[in-house]
Amino acid sequence: MVKYFANNTDIRSTWDHVVSAFWQRYPNPFSTHVLTEDVVYREVTADHRLLSRRLLMKTNRLPRWAERIFPPGMSRFVYIVEDSILDPVNRTLTTYTWNLNHTTLMSVEERCVFQDSVEQPATTQLKREAWISSSVYGFSRPIQEFGLARFKSNQVKAMKGLEYALSSLQGETPQRLLRDTVKDASEKAREAAKSLASAATVPQKSQQYV
């Protein structure tokens, strides 16, 4: 079973500005967990699309309940691959991201499409989708619930980071682009963590580690 997440956001900025901010969004005060970013591949195709692959390293702070289940020597870093397709003709930026390690514990795949709005001037439409799964025997469902709550919290922070980059490019004071708040998303993450902590206290016949 896989947890699915989707939402749509209207970004009150032109597509060109959003794309520029996307490439310059790190570092920002809302994404301090992103430690490094490296371009490992880039190509301009015959039809003028820009294909890119980047490797990002992020911190992977485990909650206390996870420390009871997983080995103490497990890496606290997550390596993320980000593939992107920039299409200047159709004015879209499509990104695909997924984690390379800790995939048994949790696999998170994300797809984002930044599309120039044809109905609203100076607006970019963002559609974000995510698929979250876990292969840990006996704990996959609560881990997925926790992963979904954490993803929701992180995507709010990601949007605030993009807003920060946009404001920096335009020389403006950051303004809210979303109705969601980091506080609300964080509360959901804490609720999921409590649920998973309760599940962790139930003895299991077998455990599978990363």
**Per-residue pLDDT, 173:** 53
Q: How much is the pLDDT for 138? A: 87
Higher pLDDT, 209 or 110: 110
pLDDT of 208 reads 40
State the DSSP code for 209.
Answer: -
Q: What pLDDT score does 38 carry?
A: 97
pLDDT given for residue 192 in this prediction: 55
Across residues 4-22, what is the average pLDDT? 97
Taking residues 18-22, report their average pLDDT.
97
Percentage with pLDDT > 70 across the chain: 76
* Confidence check: pLDDT of 202 > 60: no
pLDDT digits (tens, 9 = 90+) for 40-87: 999 999 999 999 999 999 997 766 776 676 666 667 899 999 999 999
pLDDT of residue 193: 55
pLDDT recorded at residue 180: 41
Quote the CA–CA distance of 11 and 33 in Å, as a whole number. Answer: 24
Q: What pLDDT is stored for residue 196 in this prediction? A: 55
Tokens linked to 84? 């992107």
Do β-strands 34-44 and 50-59 pair in parallel, antiparallel, or remain unpaired? antiparallel
Enter the pTM of the model.
0.79
Q: Which domains does the chain have, with CATH numbers?
A: 2-184 (3.30.530.20)
| pLDDT for position 204 | 46
Q: How far apart are CA 58 and CA 165, in angstroms?
A: 19
Q: What is the pLDDT of residues 93-140, one digit of tens each?
A: 999 999 999 898 899 999 999 999 999 999 999 999 999 999 988 889
What pLDDT does 1 receive?
A: 79
CB 126 within 8 A of CB 105: no
pLDDT at 141: 92
pLDDT of res. 91:
97
